[in-house]
Structures are given as structure tokens and as C-alpha cells.
């Protein structure tokens, strides 16, 4: 068996970057990652080729001919990296996620059997543990790689089984919220944090949408209402959608990506920490898009500075204070440092049809140096051993059928007529 590509995590920048994007980043950030689609060989050559064509990637060359055998893959990869197609590729740091998927899939396809791919993945885990200095043992179960000390995997087979877990997790004085990911490798961050360009242009995107679509916002009275509406229409924001309804989260975990596992993220909040639209903390955080990236980073540094007094801090964030007071004239004349750095759950007004139908709520994220500092995993439910409970969905189609019996489907969760029509069309 040839494991050069796993050992080469240290010496081949393309392999190192690809493994980081496909599994390393997720493993470091969330404590687990899904490698099942590579181990099982579910990604077809034609579908991957089409994805690469759509983004005009030179990695299409890897998929124009038959897959190479393991014994020839090192030579084939070197030839590709030095080929004419890759001449103008530039810095490996600009590798796209789709290209990383393509490279890892191409490597795995050189291994003939699932058992051999599983062995290769275990070798990869050893390299990852050393490369990223992981203190926990790295295990694998049904294609999910995870850190044994921080994660407890649960593979769901029925709605009833999920409800059993919910009963066990429900505690006095606590409220559970849920979020479904159709792709288990989806990193737990708001859409704004997914691209650096989005993050540094938050203020521009926020204002441009209001300018171009004023009628959509003319009845809005607060920055939170603006953000909820923007989130509804797909603009990247600092809101992370969650729900009070576990069946809604289950639907979103199953709706797409039939060749990959879905997951349900469960959050646990103290009842008295849950915020409402009129909350001062919510007003502060929802006002952040009014400031450019440089000013946000300046406020972050001030809020993080333990040596800066509260009085000095409020002088530094005076403009933010004025912005909040323009919305809430009775707002107190100071902002707590911790409020700027916090991420809070907020129950919005039910004046948005999707929020209403999906029993929606949001995590409103504060300032951070980068998304890793945000660490929304700290808000997840943990058992008595301080392990995050991770719920994995394997058989998505069977869950979609079960949910439909509960009237949880596209037509009920997305009340717009085009979504209802699409659901009806799919039944016939």
C-alpha cells in the first residue's frame, strides 16, 4: 500500500492544503470531519469533472483520463503540478475548496477497495495529529474522523431515536436550539465569516442592499430587523440561523447532498441568557455592520485589552454608542467590553414568514479577530463528560419521508409560492 500522499502532508504544499481544506480545518475547529464520501468512493468522476469545469479550474486535467493506480500516483501528481495547465495557477493558498475535494478524491480513487481506503485514512489521521499538534486521540467511525476527548458521535436511524436524545439533553433552566447541516463538514460559522472579502466589506454590502432595495426595508425599525431581512434574501450576515424545532433542523440536515452525511447541531442556553429584540446587547451587536472593517478591528482590540479602563473604552467606541442611541434614545451611556465580544441567541419578531414557519431564532455574533476566535462550539450541548454531542444522519431519504408525514417539507418551511410549486412538482 502506498501512503506517500499522507506522509507528504509535510512536504507537498498541494496535498497539505487540500487535506486542510477538506478535513483538517473542520477537525481542528469542530473536533470531527466526514471522510465517508472519499472512503466509500461516492463522488463520481463525471460529477467532479463538471464541478471543476464550472469554476474553470486547471484541476479538470486530473479527471480527463482514467484514474491512476496507487503505485503511479506520486509520479502522476508531480507531472500534473508541473504541467502547462498549472503554469499560471499561482499560490497554493488560493486553492478552492472544490479543487481540494477533487485532489483528495483523485488520490482516494487510486486505492482499489474501501478497506484499503479506510487503512489509508487511519494513516492520514496519524499525520494530522502530528501536523496540527492535536492532544486528543483521533478515531474513526463509519467514515467520520473525530477527536475522542471532545466529541461523542451519535448516528441517528429514526426520529424517535433523536427524540430520546432530546429528552436526555433537556434540563431545568436550559433551552435547546438546533441547526441542521446537509453537509457534515460545514464549519459552524455565520455566512459573513465564510469569505474574507465578505467580512471586510460587511458595511458596503449592508448599505448597498438598503440603497438598491429600499422598499424591502421601509417598515424596518431596528438594525436587527434589517439583518433578519438580509439573511432571508441570502446576503452574508453575522447571524447564524437556528431553530427551536428539532424537526426543522432535521429537515435541513437531509434536504441536499445525498452522497454525504448530514448533521444536527444542538445548542444549550441558560434560559436567562436568551435575548429579545429590545435587548441592549442585541442593539449593540446588530449595529456593528454600520462600521467598516478597520473600525471593527479597532473596537475588537480595545474590547480585548484588559488594561484599558471602561472609561477609556467608551471614549474609543463613542461612535458605536451614538449609533445605538439613534435607534434607542434611552440607551445607557456606556457599552460593556464583554458585550462586543459575545455571541448571543436572540428570538426575533415573528414578522417574517420564514422565521415564523421555521420556528426560527438566531445566534448574533460579535467581534472576533477571525472565525476561530468566535468558537461557537462552546455554545453546543455537552454531556457530563464535557463532550460535544454530534448527531450524524446517514440515510437522508428515509428521514425526508418520515418528516413529510409530520408535514415538515419544502412547502411548509418555505412559504413563497415558487418553493411550494417546486415541492408539488417533485411529488409527480
Distance CA 92, CA 281 (A): 41
Q: Mean pLDDT throughout 63-72?
A: 90
Same domain, residue pair 274 and 419: yes
In a domain, residue 82? The reply is yes
Question: Is the same domain home to 262 and 343?
Answer: yes
Average pLDDT over the chain reads: 90
Instruction: Assess whether 178 and 138 both reside in one domain.
Output: no
The band of 88, judged by pLDDT with boundaries at 50, 70 and 90, is confident
Same domain, 242 and 299: yes
Q: What's the whole-number mean pLDDT along residues 322-332?
A: 92
Q: Is residue 124 part of a domain?
A: yes
From 147, 163, 187, the end of a domain falls on: 147
- Last residue of one domain, picked from the residues 132, 147, 162: 147
Residue 178 and residue 134 in one domain = no
Span 221-239, average pLDDT: 93
For residue range 289-304, what is the model confidence (pLDDT) as tens digits?
A: 999 999 999 999 999 9
**Position 100 pLDDT exceeds 90:** yes
Same domain, 33 and 181: no
pLDDT mean over 174-198: 94
Q: Rounded to an integer, what distance in angstroms lies between the CA atom of residue 411 and that of residue 257?
A: 19
The pLDDT of residue 319 is: 96
* Co-location of 375 and 409 in the same domain: yes
**What pLDDT band is residue 1 in, cutting at 50, 70 and 90?**
very low
Same domain, 8 and 133: yes
**10 and 87 co-located in one domain:** yes
- Average pLDDT on 301-324 reads 95
Give the number of other CB atoms < 10 A from CB of residue 114: 12
Residue 101 has pLDDT above 90, yes or no: yes
Say whether both 229 and 127 belong to one domain.
Answer: no
365 φ/ψ sector (left φ>0, alpha ψ -120 to 50, else beta): beta
* Domain-located, residue 110: yes
Indicate the range of 157-161, 200-204, 301-305, 372-376 predicted with least confidence: 372-376
Please give the average per-residue pLDDT across 155-177, as a whole number: 96
Q: What is the pLDDT of residue 278?
A: 93
Give the pLDDT confidence score for residue 425 in this predicted structure. 47
368 shares a domain with 270? yes
pLDDT at 161 (0 to 100): 97
Residue 367, in any domain of the structure: yes
Q: Do residue 261 and residue 376 come from a single domain?
A: yes
Cell numbers standing for residue 379: 455554545
In a domain, residue 310? The reply is no
The answer to whether residue 372 sits within a structural domain is yes
Q: In this structure, is residue 322 part of a structural domain?
A: no
- Provide the pLDDT confidence category of residue 266 given band limits of 50, 70 and 90: very high
In a domain, 164, yes or no: no
Q: For residue 416, give its domain range.
A: 171-304+339-426
Last residue of a domain, one of 113, 147, 181: 147
Per-residue HEC secondary structure of the chain comes to CCCHHHHHHHCCHHHHHHHHHHHHHHHHHHCEEECHHHHCCCCCHHHHHHHHHHCCCHHHHHHCCCCCCHHHHHHHHHHHHCCHHHCCCCCHHHCCHHHHHHHHHHHHHCCCCHHHHHHHHHHHHHHHHHHCCCCCCEEEECCEEEECCCEEEEEECCHHHHHHHHHHHCCCCEEEEEEEECCCCCCCCCHHHHCHHHHHCHHHHHHHHHHHCHHHCCCCCCHHHHHHHHHHCCCCCCEEEEECCHHHHHHHHHCCCCCCCEEEEEEEEEHHHCECCCCHHHHHHHCHHHCCHHHHHHHHHHHHCCCCCHHHHHHHCHHHHHHHHHHCCCCCCCCCHHHHHCEEEECCCCCCHHHHHCCEEEEEECCCCCHHHHCHHHHECECCCCCEEEEEECCHHHHHHHHHHCCCCHHHHCCCHHHHHHHHHHCC
Number of domains in the chain: 2
- Say what the pLDDT of residue 10 is: 56
pLDDT of residue 356: 82
- The per-residue pLDDT for 129 is 83
Confidence of residue 428 (pLDDT cuts 50, 70, 90): low
Amino acid at each position: 500500500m502506498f501512503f506517500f500522499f499522507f506522509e507528504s502532508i509535510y512536504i507537498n504544499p498541494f496535498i497539505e492544503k487540500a487535506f486542510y481544506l477538506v478535513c483538517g480545518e473542520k477537525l481542528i475547529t469542530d473536533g470531527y470531519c466526514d471522510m465517508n464520501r472519499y472512503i466509500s468512493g461516492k463522488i463520481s468522476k463525471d460529477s467532479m469533472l463538471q464541478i471543476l469545469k464550472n469554476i474553470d479550474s486547471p484541476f479538470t486535467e486530473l479527471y480527463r483520463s482514467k484514474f491512476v493506480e496507487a503505485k503511479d500516483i506520486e509520479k502522476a501528481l508531480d507531472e500534473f503540478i508541473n504541467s502547462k495547465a498549472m503554469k499560471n495557477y499561482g499560490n497554493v493558498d488560493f486553492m478552492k475548496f472544490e479543487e481540494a475535494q477533487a485532489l483528495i478524491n483523485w488520490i482516494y480513487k487510486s486505492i482499489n477497495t474501501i478497506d484499503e481506503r479506510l487503512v489509508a485514512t487511519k494513516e492520514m489521521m496519524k499525520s494530522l495529529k502530528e501536523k496540527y499538534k492535536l492532544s486528543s486521540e483521533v478515531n474513526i467511525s463509519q467514515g467520520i474522523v473525530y477527536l475522542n476527548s471532545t466529541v461523542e458521535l451519535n448516528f441517528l436511524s429514526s426520529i424517535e431515536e433523536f427524540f430520546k436524545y432530546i429528552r436526555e439533553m433537556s434540563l431545568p433552566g436550559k433551552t435547546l436550539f438546533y441547526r441542521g447541516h446537509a453537509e457534515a463538514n460545514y464549519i459552524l460559522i455565520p455566512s459573513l465569516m465564510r469569505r474574507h472579502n465578505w467580512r471586510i466589506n460587511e458595511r458596503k454590502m449592508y448599505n448597498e442592499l438598503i440603497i438598491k432595495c429600499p422598499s424591502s426595508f421601509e417598515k424596518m425599525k431596528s438594525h436587527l430587523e434589517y439583518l433578519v431581512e438580509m439573511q432571508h434574501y441570502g446576503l452574508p450576515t453575522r447571524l447564524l440561523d437556528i431553530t427551536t424545532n428539532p424537526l426543522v433542523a432535521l429537515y435541513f440536515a437531509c434536504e441536499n447532498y445525498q452522497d454525504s452525511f448530514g448533521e444536527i447541531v444542538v445548542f444549550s442556553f441558560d434560559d436567562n441568557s436568551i435575548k429579545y429584540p429590545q435587548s441592549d446587547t442585541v442593539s449593540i451587536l446588530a449595529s456593528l455592520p454600520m462600521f467598516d472593517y478597520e473600525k471593527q478591528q479597532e473596537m475588537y482590540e480595545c474590547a480585548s485589552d484588559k488594561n484599558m479602563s471602561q472609561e477609556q473604552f467608551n471614549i474609543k467606541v463613542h461612535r458605536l454608542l451614538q449609533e445605538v442611541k439613534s435607534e434607542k434614545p434611552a440607551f445607557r451611556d456606556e457599552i460593556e467590553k464583554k458585550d462586543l465580544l459575545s455571541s448571543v441567541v436572540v428570538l426575533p419578531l415573528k414578522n417574517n414568514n420564514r422565521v415564523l414557519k421555521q420556528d426560527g431564532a438566531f445566534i448574533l455574533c460579535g467581534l472576533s479577530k477571525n472565525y476561530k476566535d468566535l468558537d461557537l462550539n462552546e455554545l453546543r450541548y455537552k454531556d457530563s463528560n464535557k463532550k460535544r454531542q454530534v448527531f450524524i444522519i446517514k440515510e437522508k431519504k428515509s428521514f425526508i419521508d418520515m418528516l413529510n408525514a409530520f408535514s415538515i417539507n419544502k412547502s411548509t418551511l418555505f412559504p413563497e409560492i415558487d418553493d411550494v410549486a417546486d415541492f408539488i412538482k417533485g411529488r409527480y
